[in-house]
Structure 1
């Protein structure tokens, strides 16, 4: 078998299609035909010997627990040695020697010997105190009251009742609480509530009202918290130089345990605790723990596939016999959820490096991912936005640095191939050219230029500060027609930013209405200062759209409509304008020809192909800037979809880069 170590994971390559380095213990997935490790009988004999010793030790602890020994009570010995302390009452030894009257009380009294003597001595002490108090009292009424109490305490009926009470209270104090049947009382209550939603019977309505009571819900929450604590480590024992830990977990039939295991020679080791599973909620399993037994079934020597098959059929209370990890467990800390937008497609079935294929989370470019754990920097745990209810366990996705390294490696391999080809075809190169190639290689391997994830936050636009709408698309895709249509229908709601130009104004033009007319030197100064979103030159005159012009429309409470080149998106996004970018994509080639012909435009086949190709390049190179995409198959439908997206900004929060809100 050939093994290769990659990023800390051992990849087995003994057979094609086998890629399990970790195995989710109870998640369905593709089975691997890996070699089974031999069973280690010596260690299991040690564990069985340990169980036998533990059983004998427990029996010894309980043996003689209720034997009566009067000498254990110092107060009783003191009473028996000092007759003055008693008040016409026989000692315990005398009562034992006297003939016993067979009553139903004797079995109860016999349950506790030394404690009974201690209780009787307390009565004697109380009588002595009352006698002293009686002597200190001056009025006859108080002395008479004390005498009445003393007579009550000396009556045989009272002493028998007190003896029964003492024995029962001691027995009740020794009874351990019943082990919890579940740690999901809250979930069960919610499930019952869902069943009762359609019930119209009186009993069902009454039960539903009880289950929704805040006090009962708080009780169920407290129950689950205590239950988790009850189902904690039963024992941690040092045995033959090894610390053995016994823990119990509660696993529902339809709830995965949420842990992965790996083989370390003959050992089965917990490799990963996945967020959202029973193991993670209990906090009892740790990465690096070796599993010896599960519900009495030996595990050491089994392959991870066998452990998977075993645990997939188990539910209820699971008892694990573990050897705890020797690594120091870090102090628990509250994980901060990070929301990111993915800028690449990912399919775990095509990834040879994913440590556990069953837990791999697939996603597409543009998806929002909620990262809940970055404990492993190479493999984050995350949920897809909108799938939290249907996805009980978090999925594994490549970490940002790990993915950047992989993408960088993909880029350098073709560059080196081209460099080798260049050396073959052109053996002599100038030093200047070689230096240029080297700098290009370094630039390509810069991780900051590789798009993987961007941290996002929810943002709701204020009513008086609308986000600018930037329409992007190739020529003849119809994005400019959509802008003009919006402006003509609702001019009080939409507006355009007044551009700047260096040409002279015409007769009907007014400064600040059609254009901001400025000198060439002033334009170039603002351009150098980065005040323009985009700019260009036409017939020796400069034109441009400034950020101040867009900001003026935003401050007026209207929505600024922009039609920009894709090269301007980076500048617009780097501003504080928080734009909403919509890509207007052309339809198929034949449909595009029909739409242009309807508008009276006649274009050649090469021009149609160029529109389609430009749209494809825009999508490949700039789609990470797009908030939405509209395929302009039908102008009316595209316009309605555009209006829907714009209106949605007023009613629903949108994901925006977190850097915008800092």
Structure 2
């Protein structure tokens, strides 16, 4: 049986020879008729025969490019026609300048330069008898791999790219996740934008911005590709502890691409390539993305900015006074760490979405510790079989028992070196071990300690106005201003105080709702 090769140019004859051999095999051997019929049907298929004809045509005809730089030749012709006023000249210039013709000629040049075909001589004749156009292509001339990328743009829809000017060229700096360009995957980071719909950009970002604002419908980019594929982003979920408005940010590289957010919102970070500006988008309660991605300041950038604001807020006389003081070393202590807390900069917190679970601890935080204890007792009185609270009598009895021995004193002081904190943690463990939810009236410092997977706390800040605060007495451990400024990153819910019973019922309802909805918790609780 004959073998099909790319040099014999006899594709049709080979197919016919195969058919004849099948008939011959049918007569000489006792092979299965099914296999022969299948092979005969395959080779006799009109598509296979058409492919054989195409194979014959390609191998018999030697295709040579007439010119290797059709794009430059078209540009030269357009330049010559600029001064012409004739209707035919104007029409020819318009046709050669259309994006589709430019793309076609660019594709022709790319194929001609990359192929192994030897270009025809400058004095060779074409099929119509005329001399071919001369070419300046040499072996030393570098290839220019230009690509034409087309897409459709709505008038109100942003494309989702930011650009940067480097070496007089306009490069794509970032592609916003979820944008039309990101979905199509046609443009990549570091691609160089040369033209838009035939309009030269000349490395000027203002020209590109002004043109894209007005452009609608079909848009064709002429680019020099970077040949770098967009990396699959590593997803990261953050809980925001600050408010951010991109319109008021003077450092943002693009106000239109910014994503504003409020304290307590959950964001999905989809790109951290830029050390200063991350790409993020909002998510729903189950972590499913919603809306487009936008730029947000990174953790390091926002920490630097806020630390500088804090330094600049110090008065000049305070700076001079602080220079005269001698620096002293201070050991960190839970009972005396409020000064350290005031210098913490909370921007984001990495969180994870988990299925509905029941929390083990409720932490009540108020300006007055006695008022918080009253709220805790009301919750325990409403549902005593579910909640347990360590009252003063049980606390003092526990302290007295443990203080009688050395081991008991070490257990009482706890790993944090504070007697009251160690007592609170031991009491909380006992209540949790009994199968109840522990209600813990604690200071913000203790709240920071129990915020672990062991206790799974649900922190509630009961906020009382000045009128209600007078009824609590004059014993205020914290001001509402300090709580909202330094400790809100540890709070899960804020309940406005109306009366004792309403506050207690609201907290109980919130605890029950946690058993039926997904929750965002610190990643340290999960991993």
Bucket of the pairwise TM-score, normalised by the shorter protein = 0.5 to 0.7
| 1:274 is aligned to 2:169 | no
Distance 1:474 1:630 in 2: 13
Structure 2 partner of 1:300: 202
Structure 1 distance, partners of 2:331, 2:222, is 57
Alignment of 1:95-494 (within 5 A): 118-120=11-13, 122-123=15-16, 126-127=19-20, 166=49, 237=110, 241=142, 243-251=144-152, 253=154, 255-264=157-166, 267-300=169-202, 302-304=204-206, 306-314=207-215, 317-325=218-226, 329=228, 332-386=230-284, 392-414=291-313, 417-418=316-317, 420-422=319-321, 429=324, 433-436=325-328, 449-460=344-355, 462=357, 466-475=359-368, 478-494=371-387
Tell me the SS of whatever aligns to 1:358.
Answer: coil
* Paired residues of 2:189 and 2:230 also in contact (CA < 8 A): no
In 1, Cα distance between equivalents of 2:47 and 2:448: 85
Tell me if the contact between 2:415 and 2:422 (Cα under 8 Å) persists in the aligned partners: no
| Superposed displacement of residue 323, structure 1 | 2.0
Do the aligned partners of residues 652 and 301 (structure 1) sit closer, same or farther apart at CA in structure 2, a change above 3 Å counting? closer
C-alpha spacing 1:262/1:522, structure 2 compared with 1 (3 Å) = same
> Residue 124 of structure 2 aligns with which residue?
none
1:581 aligned residue (437, 459, 467): 459
1:561 to 433, 439, 442: 439
CA change 1:454–1:476 in 2 (3 A) is closer
Superposition deviation, residue 521 in structure 1 = 4.3
**Is the 8 Å Cα contact of residues 242 and 323 (structure 1) preserved in structure 2?**
no
Moved more, 645-654 or 523-532: 523-532
User: 2-side partners of 1:405 and 1:481: how far apart?
Assistant: 41
1:318 to 1:242, Cα distance in 2 relative to 1, 3 A: farther
Could you tell me how far 1:257 is from its partner in structure 2? 2.3
Indicate the larger mover: 253-262 or 122-131. 122-131
Q: Distance in 2 between matches of 1:519 and 1:163?
A: 100
For residues 413-435 of structure 1, give each alpha carbon's deviation from its aligned partner in whole angstroms, at most 9, with x where no partner exists: 45694565338xx9xx5xxx444
Q: 1:654 to 1:73 in 2, by over 3 A?
A: closer
SS of equivalent to 1:394:
strand
The Cα shift of 1:642 comes to 1.5
Q: Could you say if the C-alpha distance between residues 131 and 571 of structure 1 is closer, same or farther in structure 2, counting changes exceeding 3 Å?
A: closer
> Closer, same or farther in 2 for the Cα pair 1:118/1:362, shift >3 Å?
closer
| Counterpart position of 1:647 | 512
Contact 1:499 1:544 in 2 (8 A): no
Total equivalences in the alignment: 430
Say if 1:236 and 1:570 are closer, same or farther in 2 by CA, change over 3 A.
farther
Aligned to 1:570: 448
SS, match of residue 260 in structure 2: coil
> Which of 429, 439, 448 is the matching residue for 1:551?
429
Asked if the contact 2:237–2:269 (Cα under 8 Å) also holds between the matched residues in 1, the reply is yes
* Distance verdict in 2 for CA 1:162–1:251, change over 3 Å: closer
TM-superposed CA distance for 1:119, in Å, is 1.7
- For 2:299 and 2:414, locate their aligned partners in 1 and report how far apart those are by CA, in whole Å: 33
Following the alignment from structure 1 to structure 2, what is the Cα–Cα distance between the partners of residues 121 and 571?
Answer: 83
Unpaired runs of at least 5, structure 2: 58-105, 114-136, 333-338
| Cα pair distance change 1:483/1:498, threshold 3 Å | closer
TM-score of the two chains, using structure 2 as the length reference:
0.67
Gaps of 5+ in 1: 1-71, 76-113, 154-160, 175-232, 506-511, 537-542
CA distance in 2, matches of 1:556, 1:438: 39
Note if contact 1:501-1:518 (Cα within 8 Å) is conserved in structure 2. no
CA distance in 2, matches of 1:614, 1:445: 17
| Contact 2:361 2:457 (8 Å CA) reproduced | yes
Q: Distance in 2 between matches of 1:376 and 1:617?
A: 34
1:345·1:365 contact (CA, 8 Å) conserved in 2? yes
